[in-house]
A and B are shown apart, each in its own frame.
Chain A
Amino acid sequence: MSANANTSANAAASMVKPMSSRPGLWARLRRNHLAVFGIVIVVLVSLTALCAPLLPLPDPDATALSDRLQKPFSENHLLGTDHLGRDILSRVVWGTRVSLAVGVVATLIAAITGSLIGIVAGFYGRWLDNLLMRSIDMVMAFPYMLLALAIVAVLGPGLMNALFAIAIVNIPFFARSVRGVTLGLVRQEYVDAARLSGLTDVRILGGEILPNVMPVIIITMSTTVGWMILETAGLSFLGLGAQPPQADLGSMLGEGRKLVITAPHVATIPGLVILILVVGINLLGDGLRDVLDPRLKSGALVRPAAATEVDQAVRSAGVEDSVERDAVLSVSNLKTHFITGQDVYKAVDGVSFDVRPGECLGIVGESGCGKSVTALSLLGLVPTPPGRIVSGRVDFEAQNLLAAPLETLRAIRGGKMAYVFQDPLTTLNPLFPVGEQIAESIREHQGLSGKQALQRAVTLMEQVQIPNAKDRAHAYPHELSGGMRQRIGIAMALANDPQIIIADEPTTALDVTVQAEILKLLDTLRKEKNVAVIFITHDFGVVSELCDRVLVMYAGRVVEAASTEDIFSRPLHPYTQQLMACVPRLGQADKVVAAIPGIPPAVNDLPQGCAFADRCELAQDACRQGEIALERFGENRAARCIRIDEAGA
């Protein structure tokens, strides 16, 4: 089910994204309390270090042997003195200044050099990439500290040399991560577009690629500074960095080491400062990474609940359904809203329909009209947050699914009611053979043994007309073509003798010839097994191949419901009419396609009255006032329009 949740999360994200603007960097960072704590530490420590010359501190290098090894809180020496009688507070402040400066400068050197190498290697590729990255590999082949020691050994001890050593050792981290990101960016179409706009390579690198790599560089920098400070301290501790009498946190630690027993405070105090500083920097770095990492923007790390949240009022309708129905599934007044901050996106807003056994119901509409969310709501597969079912009933097998407990939903998902999604490559697990994945669903629902389940899986694969089903059962998803993968998807849906298959744009990603086969297959199967199908699509052509009845949706509502025959011979709603007229049809070459002006309204800001009024030629004042009801026209038809007479039906 995780795959399903994923798809629905994507659906929701794509629906919500264009309308909400993300809060700024600072606002998002501020929400992370640990990061704010980190910022406070870093700012305090840096300010103190920066202001060292202004503070009333004694000379950090002034020795006074008579005052040696004073304890903290002694007179004139707040943090005591070291073995040469130097004031520790003063030395710590000046030492932090040196350590911070070395850490930051080393990070900058490593970041600039490493990013340059990474970006050039990623952009030009081929032999240059090989040359640069293999050199980087050579640097990485040596143990980290050992290499730094070797570099210092060659250059001679000293703070500047330690700085270079640490910078060089850290170049590979920048080079590798920047190259990885650049490789992905170079294949982006906007880089090609920039080339076609006459930009030179240098301009493309600086203007198109660098700004998009910058977040990665900043993330790597913020997580490296802490390390760099520790490493400088390490080198100084070993006597290879700062040379006496210069104070630096590492060298202070080194000097205090010999006195740990007699005067522990000499080593403890610089040690504590290093700890606090590095912890502060790392907290800030983690916070920055969370804010800048593109994977977190989509909310991918927010784990949705196992079932969509349902309002108490909806639950209180009870699970039992005492009404005798001839429909296998009956949905009434379903409302699913997405709630993000202040905004309420009414993705589905009062949808009702029945599906009879063996019937194929088409749900047609453009992206964002709520057709997928409707389908996902039936079994609580809309991710929460941000999804929420706020009204309605879904009656299936004498149960109101919206009020049913999670176990009931789990048993029905992939069992009596099964989904087929648009792109089988994202819904199949790439790590397991396809036969096993079908078998897993059978084992789960029917309790068959592994061997029996696999046998049944092969039979199912034969039913969906996969040649050499027995061999193909051992194939991994990537080894199959798009059409074959979709057949696997259908086989999985059929695995537990469902009463309803919900197919969400199952042929949209496929080539026309493959689409024709899949449609034929679905049609045959549903007649053979008497399975009802809810078929979600944007393509009226596909509808006429397969469906008995059609719902047309617009901005979260059904605007027209009719039999397939009626809807093509006599569409009632102006939206249905225009949606049909704006698609070029094969064999009608000279027909000028009549585009619908404008774009659908945002579902968090729906206009009064008819949502289509702003794009409709027939709209009048009355269309923009009050609720417009879905009115019945004859036995099996309904349309949500007050101008049907004028619409020329």
Chain B
Amino acid sequence: MSALLECKNLYQAFGGGRKLLGPAKPKIQAVSDVNLQIQRGQTLGIVGESGCGKSTLARMLVGLDLPSSGDIYFQGKDLVEVKRDNPRWLRQQIQFVFQDPLSSLNPRKTIRQILEAPLRHLLNKSPTERQDRLQELMQAVNLRPEFLDRYPHEFSGGQSQRIGIARALAAEPDVMILDEPVSALDVSVQAQILNLLRDLKQQFNLTYVFISHDLAVVENLCDTVAVMYLGRVVESASREQLFNDPKHPYTRILLSSVPVAGQKKTASVSLQGELPNPAAPPPGCAFAPRCYRAEAKCRESRPPLEHFDDTGRKVACYFAEDSDLHDGDTQS
């Protein structure tokens, strides 16, 4: 089965070059050599900490930014070509939900105007069709239809995010890219939105790419998960594999750092040092300077993201096979 959405050797760099008469600007490799496959009907989670490139990747997947190099294929077609030749079709197929529900809604437009835009410009619906569809959309995200004529500032964070989701749904997409859709919300509202997303996926047969820094949320919603560190995928696996038996040291530390209600972790492995400068990443494994397991060869050459077993699981670590890595005491 071929993947619905696929990226091959994706790179994205910012900066670089030099200003007229100025000094060279530092070049930051935000995304490096990312390969991912997203199957129809699945939810792929992308996790990582700030600065790992997950949002840059999300913007490329929806065509808001173009990759510096590498290819994205949607239904087997080159996304860059599709964006050039038939941008409306692309917008209609792949939609996006933003992190900040308020700043993704124009403060001077009513909800009706915001939701009508995709119906008019992407689907060419007539005014009466639009009217019906608006009612359906509001119902789908559990908002009262009379809210349509209000302005964004009259809504709470959770309600605004429902509108953001309705806007994405309006285009009747196949794929939705969700960039931290619940991070800005209160916990009780976060759960409402997570449940809504799960229902919508079933109802409209959607495929999700779910970007988040919150591991518990990702575990709750995703089928497969990719962990990113400094622009690269360091581990990708099914949810069960990744959360029950993480192989990459970074994944392990990440998982052990999450505080769990009702548990006091006394001797969890903690992370040494700081994120390396993305403008000058270390030569070998980017995680080596902070890794408890790193040896000389980690610092010399970068371990490739290789198949770990025949389940499709991939890990970028020379010591992924080691089983006694859980032991936090081995750190020096």
Interface residues of A, Cβ cutoff 8 Å to B? 18, 188-190, 192-200, 203, 207-208, 211-212, 366-367, 467, 481-484, 511-517, 519-520, 538-545, 568-569, 578-580, 582-587, 589, 591-597, 599
Chain B, residues 168-195, CB within 8 Å of chain A (1/0): the string is: 1011000000000000001111111011
Docked-complex contact A586 and B243, CB < 8 angstroms: yes
- For the complex of A and B, 8 pairs with smallest distance between CB atoms: A541-B259, A198-B121, A595-B191, A568-B262, A582-B191, A540-B261, A584-B220, A511-B49
| Residue in B109, B167, B216 whose beta carbon sits within 8 Å of that of A584 in the complex | B216
- Taking CB atoms, residues of chain A closer than 8 Å to B190 are 582-583
Closest residue of chain B to A200 (Cβ to Cβ) is: B121
Query: Which of B181-224 touch A at CB < 8 Å?
Result: 186-192, 194-195, 213, 215-217, 219-220
Judge if B108 is at the interface, Cβ distance under 8 Å: yes
Interface core residue of A189, A367, A587, A591 (most chain B CB under 10 Å): A189
Closest residue of chain A to B240 (Cβ to Cβ) is: A589
Docked-complex contact B261 and A198, CB < 8 angstroms: no
Docked-complex contact B64 and A192, CB < 8 angstroms: yes
13 pairs of residues in contact across A and B, judged by CB atoms under 8 Å: A18-B153, A190-B103, A198-B121, A211-B106, A212-B106, A512-B213, A516-B271, A539-B259, A544-B262, A568-B261, A578-B188, A583-B191, A585-B216
Q: Tell me the bound Cα distance from A580 to B260 in angstroms.
A: 11
Query: Which of B94-115 touch A at CB < 8 Å?
Result: 95-96, 98-100, 103-109, 114
Q: How many chain B residues have a CB neighbour from A under 8 Å? A: 72
Interface core residue of B254, B262, B264 (most chain A CB under 10 Å): B262
- Taking CB atoms, residues of chain B closer than 8 Å to A587 are 219, 243, 260
- Taking CB atoms, residues of chain B closer than 8 Å to A199 are 117, 121
Given A512-B257, A513-B254, A593-B195, A544-B96 contact (CB < 8 Å): no
Docked-complex contact A593 and B91, CB < 8 angstroms: no
Judge if B53 is at the interface, Cβ distance under 8 Å: no
Q: Tell me the bound Cα distance from A599 to B191 in angstroms.
A: 12
- Taking CB atoms, residues of chain A closer than 8 Å to B164 are 193
Closest residue of chain B to A567 (Cβ to Cβ) is: B262
Judge if B265 is at the interface, Cβ distance under 8 Å: yes
Docked-complex contact A516 and B91, CB < 8 angstroms: no
Docked-complex contact B91 and A198, CB < 8 angstroms: yes
Interface core residue of B96, B168, B187 (most chain A CB under 10 Å): B187
Docked-complex contact A196 and B260, CB < 8 angstroms: no
Closest chain-A Cβ to B271's Cβ sits at a distance in Å of 4
Given A197-B117, A198-B91, A595-B195, A589-B220 contact (CB < 8 Å): yes
Interface residues of B, Cβ cutoff 8 Å to A? 49-50, 62, 64, 87-88, 91-92, 95-96, 98-100, 103-109, 114, 117-118, 120-122, 153-154, 156, 158, 164, 167-168, 170-171, 186-192, 194-195, 213, 215-217, 219-220, 239-240, 243, 253-265, 268, 270-271, 273-275
Docked-complex contact A212 and B261, CB < 8 angstroms: no
Q: Tell me the bound Cα distance from A514 to B271 in angstroms.
A: 8
Q: Tell me the bound Cα distance from A200 to B92 in angstroms.
A: 14
Interface core residue of A190, A192, A538, A592 (most chain B CB under 10 Å): A190
Given A196-B96, A199-B117, A586-B216, A541-B50 contact (CB < 8 Å): no
Closest residue of chain A to B189 (Cβ to Cβ) is: A599
